[in-house]
Amino acid sequence: MENLDPKPDVILVYGTLFGYLRRLLPLAKIMRVPLVLDAVEWYQPSHLSGGRFGPLAMAFEYSMRHLAPQADGVIAISRYLETYFKGRGVPTIRIPPLFSPDPPRPPQYRDLDAGLHLCYAGTPGRKDKLGVVLHAIASLGKDASRISFHLVGLGASELDLLMKESGLDSTSGIRNCRIMAHGLVDNSTARLIVASCDFTVLLRDRARFSMAGFPSKVAESMVLGTPVMANLSSNLDEVLADGGNAIVVSQPDVACVATAIERALRLGCDDVRRMKESAGKDGIRLFDPEQYVACLGDFMEARVKACTR
């Protein structure tokens, strides 16, 4: 790679994996080319194979603390990572997950049945507390019959497993809710489902992994015009306005989520429509790629100039 002619202007690396940085940092110095990291997360050691003291966790911690700060620049996904790398003296720009808007907004599910349509898109893994959402819905009793919960990315078998792991397989309350497990679908279909719902639901514990990352589910949902029901992890305090583009959940526990869902059930059609319009406008303002073209171009140009001095 060092013999490339012409040589690249920048080496842009997605993530901060040890194996990549151990090889690319020396190469960038030999080539006199700036190396810029797209830093998107700081893994929770217990979430990795081998656990806290396993080789993956140790390699990633070493990379974040010793290798990544040697980069010539960082594109940070969150305020947490921006603060960390700036504190290590690395030129850093913060850019959240970006999604192009997808107008016009499709027909809304609530116009068909006047119910509350919630959605979750993705696979929860160990990050997202989807079981808490199911328990919260179950706790609402008969009111759960007014709720439809759309799960995109989970099929019937994954839903059954999640219900059993959450201890909800024999709970009558959750059976009042209409749960639709759409399974794995293509991106355009997933976006259509999210854009047709009233709220995207996302709950995460306030831990280092959730503060260092930024939930792309929030960004995409807002760009599609769907408000968010979430607690404030990452730097969502800068993004979500309670009663405006979101219903903010005070804590990611069953009682607080149930309270948030009850708030949503009390909203009138005009209130929901207003929140959807607010989410769409804020989503385009905050997460449309066009909003970041100039500043990212300036940042990369500055890295090239600094490396060639």
- How does strand 92-94 pair with strand 228-230? unpaired
Query: In sequence order, what are the beta bridge partners of 108?
Result: none
Determine contact, residues 48/56, Cβ cutoff 8 Å.
yes
Structure token digits, residue 32: 């006199």
Determine the Cα–Cα distance for residues 297 and 139; give it in Å rounded to an integer. 50
User: What pLDDT score was predicted for residue 193?
Assistant: 97
pLDDT along the chain (309 residues), means of 10: 76 91 92 94 73 76 93 96 97 96 88 95 86 94 94 91 80 80 94 97 89 94 97 95 97 96 96 97 95 95 85
User: What pLDDT score was predicted for residue 50?
Assistant: 67
First to last CA, the chain: 22
Domain segments of the chain: what residues? 11-97+289-307, 110-287
Determine the Cα–Cα distance for residues 102 and 91; give it in Å rounded to an integer. 33
Structure token digits, residue 182: 């759409």
Query: In sequence order, what are the beta bridge partners of 151?
Result: 120, 181
CA distances from 58 to 19, 48, 52, 259, 288 (A): 12, 10, 8, 40, 36
CATH topology of domain 110-287: Rossmann fold (3.40.50)
User: What pLDDT score was predicted for residue 220?
Assistant: 96
User: What pLDDT score was predicted for residue 244?
Assistant: 97
User: What pLDDT score was predicted for residue 57?
Assistant: 76
User: What pLDDT score was predicted for residue 161?
Assistant: 87
**Cα 214 to chain centroid, rounded:** 5
